[in-house]
Amino acid sequence: MANDRLAGWGRQFQPGRELLTEDLERAPRVLFRGLGRSYGDSALPPAGSPVVVTTTRANRIIDFDESTGVLRAEAGLSLKEINRTFLPRGWFLPVTPGTQFVTLGGAVAADVHGKNHHVDGCFGHHVTRLKMHVADGRVLECGPDQERELFLATVAGMGLTGQILEVEFPLRRVPTPWIWQETERVPDIDTYVQKLAEAAHGWPMTMGWIDCLSRGKNLGRGIVMKGRWAQAHEAPTQFPAEPPNLRFPIEAPELLLSSLSVKAFNVAFYWKHLARKREGLVSPWTFFYPLDFVKDWNLMYGRRGFTQYQCVLPREAGPEAARRFLEVLTSRGGASFLCVIKDCGPESPAFLSFPKPGISIALDIAVRDGTQQLVDALNEHVIKEGGRIYLAKDSYTRPEHFRAMEPRLEKFLDVRLRWDPNLTFRSAQSVRLFGDPA
C-alpha cells in the first residue's frame, strides 16, 4: 500500500494511509486531513482504521465576489494559493497562522489564530458558511446563524463533527501588499509582557519571540514585533518578491540539536537585533511566514521528531504568569529553538477554540526520553494557572489533564455525539484525549 506511515508536522510517525481525492462529497466517511501542519496527532487516523482522506486536491474556488471580497472554496484550498491569487489584487486573509501551508478546512478545524488575534479573533470568527457532510449522510450548510451548534462544534472541532467540504469567508482589502514593522529588543520577560500589552493598543498585529534558555535577570529576554499594512505613500509600487524555495536537506542527526546549539541560536537571534528599536517595510512573507522560507524544516528535529507545546495563560493569572511558566520550563531543562509569545483577545464562542484573553506561549520541544514528563509538568502548571493547551499542537497531553483545562469539553462532546452518535469521525487524538474507540 502507498504511504503506510503518517505523521503530523512533528514527525511522530504511526501506521496510516492517506486517500487523495478531488471529490470530497464522495470520499469515504473517515477523518479529513489537510496539509498535515498540525504538529501532533490531530490529523492522524485511529489505530484500528488507519485511513484518512487528504483534501489538498479538492482546491477549487467556488465563487469570489470582487465587490465584497467574500470567497467560497473547496476545503482543500491552501492559504498559500489564496495569497498567491488574491494579494496581488489587494486582498488578504482576515486571519492567518504562522504558515501558509494550511488548507481552509484545516484553518477552520483548528480555528487558527495569528498576529491580529487581539483585534480580529480566530479564523472561525470570520467564517460565514461551511458546507459539510455529516455522519448520517446529509450534506448541509451551517454558519453562525444556521445550525449554530454544529457550526460552533465544527470550528475548532478538529474534524470530529463531520467532513468540511466548502468554506465561505470574506477576504479583506489591504492598502498595499507590504507591512510596516517595528521591532524592539526587551531585556526580560516582565518588560516583554508589558511591552506586548502596550503594543496591542496601537498595533493591529503583534507577537514576539523570547529566549527561553536565559535564566535569572535575563529570563525571557526577546524581541517584540509589531506590524500594520503599509499605506500607499510608504510602500514601493512593486509586488513583494516571493521567498526562495529552500529545503532542509536531510533528517538531521540529533547531535545538531544539542543544548549548546539551541543556546547559540537563541543568543544570536537576540543580539542580531543590535539596535534596541528598528522599523521599516518588510514583505508579508517575512512578516507572517518566516518559517515557510525553509521547506521541511521539521527534519531539523531528526529521527524522533518534535512536539510543540502551546498554552494560553489567562489574564486573571496576572502579568507574572509568563515568568512563572518560564521558570517551570527552565527548571526542567526544556530547550526550544523558538518560543513565541503573543497576547490573545476575547474567547470565541466555538466550543474548543484555543485562545482566550491572556498570554499564549508556544515552544518547540525535541522529542527525548523525558518529553512526556516535561509536558505533564507544564500541563499541571497550566492547570493551576487556569490556562489551557492548543489541540492542533498536541500529542502528549493526558486526557485527565485536558478535561481539567477545558470546562467546555462536555458541551462539545454532547453536540458532537448528537451529530455523530456512532463516532464515525475519529482521530488518533480523539482516541487519546476523548476516549473514542480506536
Partner 1 sequence: MKRHVILGGTRGMGRSVARKLVERGDWVALLGRDGAELEKSAADLKARGAPGVRVTTALCDLERPDTFRPALEAVEQALEGLDVVIVTAGLFATQEQLEADPSLAQRVLSVDFANTVLFCEEARKKLLLRGGGTLCVFSSVAGDRGRKPVVLYGAAKAGLSAYLEGLDHRFKSQGLTTVCVKPGFVKTQMTEGLKAPPFAGEPDEVADVVVKGIDEGTPVVYAPPIWRAVMSAIKAMPRFVMRRVKF
Count the residues of the shown chain that bind partner 1, applying the rule CB under 8 A.
Answer: 15
247 is a contact residue toward partner 1 (CB under 8 A): no
Shortest Å distance, C-beta 27 to partner 1: 11
Shortest Å distance, C-beta 231 to partner 1: 24
Residue where the block lists cell 536531510:
250
Residue where the block lists cell 504558515:
99
Residues 311, 308: Cα–Cα separation, whole Å: 10
418 is a contact residue toward partner 1 (CB under 8 A): no
Shortest Å distance, C-beta 390 to partner 1: 30
Residue with smaller CB distance to partner 1, 2 or 274:
2
Residue where the block lists cell 512533528:
10
Contact pick of 19, 51, 281, 328 for partner 1 (by CB under 8 A): 19
139 is a contact residue toward partner 1 (CB under 8 A): no
* Grid cell listed for 329: 520550563
25 is a contact residue toward partner 1 (CB under 8 A): no
Shortest Å distance, C-beta 26 to partner 1: 11
Residue list 36-75, contact with partner 1 (CB under 8 A): 57, 60-64
Shortest Å distance, C-beta 21 to partner 1: 6
Residue 401 half-sphere exposure toward CB, CA atoms < 13 A: 25
Shortest Å distance, C-beta 22 to partner 1: 5
2 is a contact residue toward partner 1 (CB under 8 A): yes
Residues 4, 251: Cα–Cα separation, whole Å: 19
Residue with smaller CB distance to partner 1, 78 or 371:
78
Which long-range contacts (C-beta less than 8 Å, at least 24 apart) are formed by 255-258? 256/300, 256/302, 257/300, 257/301, 257/302, 257/366
20 is a contact residue toward partner 1 (CB under 8 A): yes
Shortest Å distance, C-beta 20 to partner 1: 5
211 in Cβ contact with 269 (< 8 Å): yes
Closest CA to 358 of 404, 312, 300, 420: 312
Residue with smaller CB distance to partner 1, 19 or 140:
19
Enumerate the H helices of 101-258 as residue ranges. Answer: 104-109, 117-120, 148-154, 189-202
Which phi-psi region, left, alpha or beta, contains residue 273 (left: φ > 0; alpha: ψ -120 to 50)? beta
Residue list 83-122, contact with partner 1 (CB under 8 A): 85
Residues at the contact surface with partner 1, assessed by CB under 8 A = 1-3, 19-23, 57, 60-64, 85
